[in-house]
Structure 1
Amino acid sequence: MAQRFQYLSEQKSCLRLTHQLLDQASVDTMLQSLNQHFVEIGLPYDCSVLVDGPMAVPRLYLEADDGSIRSFDEASLLQNGPLRIVQASRTVLHLSCEDYRQRYPRLSVSIRPQPFGDYLALPILNHHRLMGLLEITRHDTGQFTDDDIAHLELVAESIGIALEHLQSRLALNFEQGQLCEERDDFHVLVNVTNAVITERSVESLVDKIAREIHCYFGINAISVCLPETDPNNLTLYNAFFVQPGKPQEAQIHISASRSICQQVLDSGEILLRQLSKDDPLACNETQLFNLWPADSHLLCLIPIKFAGQVLGVLKLAQADEACFQGSRLQLLAQVAERTAIAVDNARAYQEINRLKDNLVQENNYLSEQVESLSHQQFDEIIGRSKAITEVLKQVELVAKTDCSVLLLGDTGTGKEVFARAIHRLSPRNGKRMIKMNCAAMPAGLLESDLFGHEKGAFTGASKERMGRFELAHQSSLFLDEVGDMPLELQPKLLRVLQEQEFERVGGNRLINVDVRLIAATNRDLKQMVTDKEFRSDLFYRLNVFPIRLPPLSERRDDIPHLAKYFVFRASKHMGRNIDSIPSRVLRQLQEMDWPGNIRELQNVIERAVLLTAGHVLQLPPELGLFEAEEELQLSPYEPQPQRNAEEDDEYQRIIAVLQETNGIVAGPRGAAHKLGLKRTTLLSRMKRLGIDKETALV
């Protein structure tokens, strides 16, 4: 009965000890609690714990005379001690003091120099896994009995449970800390991205980045270095926080060869550099050394990379050195990556604005050039024959209205040229004419190209797209080869012509447009209607004002003028100097059939200009031309007008003002304003007097 009572008492004591050990937050406090337990139950034991594991070196914890916990982690010493025997046997090692000192003299000197009575090394096991040793010495002369060893084995099991619990808790705390750190890092990156993604200027971008870095990392000296167009120069944007939240900002231009940033631009790698004020590369860091006087500063330079290209350098200083190590440095590198995207966007935006400004200037220049010739409404139409004169009268008549026009004629008669003339004479000439060849587009894509499509309307429609009718709003739409339009698409075209509204492919929203239609075809639409190849209602809608363009065979009198024009233009384009056309060449050109009409004539002339070696035009040999007779001298297509004395004074005055304004005609600094004239009036006088802006500036 007494033995049973003693057994229950030991079990209760071990259970209480287990609870005490489970409450401990470290091996140190666990060992202190164990020694206190033995003191409370009156046992003369001194305990130490050797913790071992596959992922760490062994470490011995033992209590000093003053109650503090000391630890030893000399691996070679501990692994060659009792640990090696217990690892192999997984049993208790029982030694006397003399045996211990003989076996382990180095441990005796280093760890247990004081004499002790008896020694036990018990394996700390948990689920058959060896976690370490429980070492117990007696500080009296007694020896451990079998009952003592059995009791201490229970204690070792309790320690194994507590150690397993402690390691699990520490691992959980470590993982939780990592998750919290990753969450905070992600929060930083999101805030940085949101702060800079909408910035369009580099200056405001640097200000936002600097504020975010200063807020989250406590870094006071922040700079962004970007290359300039000149590879020898760099621009440095500084933001130094001498006072929290109030950066001193500066933008300076520095020499690339004398900057530490150039090293990072060349290598594309992070650079940590202790820069002294006497270093030659410190000449660009004057503001840093003036605001924070010191013999040297630690600089962290991180490349700003985008798509494999180094766009610049993020330069940091005046911070805790821990910011430039480990996970903090990796986070700063990720901030630099977000910065790279924003820098690339800002530069792209600046480049777009630059190109846009250039385009506006070029557009104004071209508008002036076109308007200077605006009185020649038919400058592309060459000819004086009766047939072409009748056509031009019809063009002038219909151009100022909004009704549809149908241009009929053979291939090569210049239908697109007449369509441009109609648009140029119309009230819609402020916008460019949109054109489309119905025969050049596959039937499956024609509807999408004409009317546009919504995102996802068909495979490959990754975004919405405007069609030609939307692009031609308040302008003219020229549909060439309209006779080749598929029958299934003709009702939709008819609806646009009648109602001026349509739906995009894949959409259900009505889009209203104001479009003037000019159609052209070389086919017989009436016969196509009879053959059920073309809808009659669409034909009647298109045929409001038909204009038949005569073939070249009906306007042979225009062939010399056309030949002269094409020779003049081709010679200028090819760099040839052809100044005469033999009359016999002109007669032969007039006698040919020209089934390809003006296009064929143009091709023949261009080939002749290319093959002609001298100054006299010779037709290609396949046309069977003979020797040259009398020659028709070529003069510039537009001869310079003769001026009287009054016109000559006006000529000189306009030339002088054009040179003064650098060729600018319109606007408050233009020549028209200085002369007190309307822009159109000045352009008309320049044309009458034969003044060309480019020539005037020479």
Structure 2
Amino acid sequence: MFITTNDHTQSTFWLDLTHQLLEQFTIEDFLGCLQQKLATHPAHGQPTLLVSTAEQLSWHIYDPQYRSLEQSELFENGPLHQIQTTRQPLELSYDEFVKRYPALFRQVNYPEFNYYTALPLVDNKGRYNLCEILSEKPFKDAQVLTHSLSIALAHLQSHVELRYQERQLCRQRDDFHVLVNVTNSVLAQRELDKVILQIAREIHRYFALDAITITLPDNKPKHNISYSTFFFNDQEISLCEHRSLSKKSPSRQVFEHAKRSLHSLNNDEDMALSEQKLFELWPALSHQLGLLPIIYAGKVCGVLKVAHGEPNTDSFSQNRLALLEQIAERVGIAIDNALAYQQIKSLKEQLVHENHYLSEQIDQIDHQFDQIIGRSSAISNVMKQIELVAKTDCSVLLLGETGTGKELFAKAIHQLSPRNEKRMIKMNCAAMPAGLLESDLFGHEKGAFTGASTSRAGRFELAHQSSLFLDEIGDMPLELQPKLLRVLQEQEFERLGGSKLIQVNVRLIAATNRDLKQMVEDKSFRSDLFYRLNVFPVRLPPLRERLEDIPTLVKFFAFKAARRLGREINSIPAKVLHQLQQHPWPGNVRELENVVERAVLLSPGRELCLPPELNIQSESDFASFSHQVAPPPKPEHHQYDQIISALKATNGIVAGPRGAAQKLGIKRTTLLSRMKRLGIDKNAIFSDGSY
């Protein structure tokens, strides 16, 4: 017990106090030691608060039980202001203190005291802090205690600051490791779905967040697409896609202002519909969402949205949000890479499928597709309609009997349209089994059905920004027609076995030889699809309605078949043409072509003959005369001669400045196409002189 007044004893007391205070490393321990030591002082003083902090400039007040009080303004305008001004201890009696600082006395729960002493303590940064001593007797050693406390406080603050800096460095190191690990893990993935899933797993791993969502702008205007992953009871629950209107999403403000935010979402708000799964897994009146912008190349390309399943859990400190924001920047790089990879993969798949499609169709290509043979009024009327509708994006329905050339007219529509830079995709609905028709039209994902070992793009994807010709549309299964109608109306669909919405820009040309109106009445064809297809119907006349075109068609087909079969036909008797005009031709132009080709093959000489087994009736009273033709018929004849002359003049050279193409003023590819169409072999020109 402190009872002597000897100077040596007093010096020992204050030196011992200073040593003990220097061994304290927290403010709580500092005050506890000071309180214990001063209790042995003759004045029976006790410290009630210490206004000091090493981490920030705001004033914190501690009572003997170390409770923090928020009364900094009172002290800054009270005793603290006094000692900062005078730089001397402030000593007041109880009555003087209550009279001078009534507001402070009322709001701070002071214990009973007779004398109040405020000590000015200078910290290691030269700032004045306040230590209050409440005592029974006047405190006569204020100057000595002030000196000891200032030394000990400066030491304590230096230690606290070092510990704080150490914690900051450790946190920065840990944050850096998290950032590197998340970045490496995410950038290792290339496909968008895997990138998003890996992001969710890493954030859950390091931040213990239960709901992670990546929101990206959708291809559909004013819509967002969200990819959500939830971790519920140690189980991973992934939702592939969720679409919502931008204005009804909590992410809207982040997209607009590119700043992170915390959003408290109530379960009765309209925006809560986009977080339905969150409220379903963790029922609550509200959930707090952390929203961070995903920025790449200077613009917001998405939003990272995180939440904790338990609403009362504080997972959004400023440090954690800052780290999540850095992660969101890396996420932007990963997502941009994934989207680029997805586009490259899609283009690659499209090229593979296009090559496969071309390989399937190469033998069926008709090099006469750009010429429709005939000058009859029926064909002229059709061509006028074709020219009218071709320049629009309107759907066209070609109606006609089998063999009337529906595909030829569909190609003509495509070639005359603004979409002619890309090839037309075609498909025969009657030739494809019903079970495979949907997959071939809309594509399928890997594993969609047995044997689907890889994903494949459908005809609609291949026809993007081009034209799709669906022949025999009347044979499409009834159950598939609603999906076709949706594509025509919305220009979007999903692959078989997939959930991702694919948007396309396709112009549809359909054809059929069936009576769709009657099928609608018979309930075998959907009326809404019929009305959607029947925007611009074009009726193709059967061959029996254009008999005047038969001579021209016969000459054309005879020349074409002779060139292909290696035969020479230079005479078509008039009686043959007359006989052909008398036939009803139920198979129309296709039947005529087949008959002429067989006649060319079976003709014994250079004159076209119709063998009896072809069942073409002859007219005995029809005067037979030879109709000499010089293959090919006009206007091919003039073009044929021009090409032969050019090839001879250039010694068979096609391309280059001295080639036949340059001499004719056309492209090399155009010349080669015409040579193939006309059956010109440049090697034969110089080998046997038959040209």
TM-score by length of 1: 0.47
User: What is the TM-score of this pair, normalised by structure 2?
Assistant: 0.48
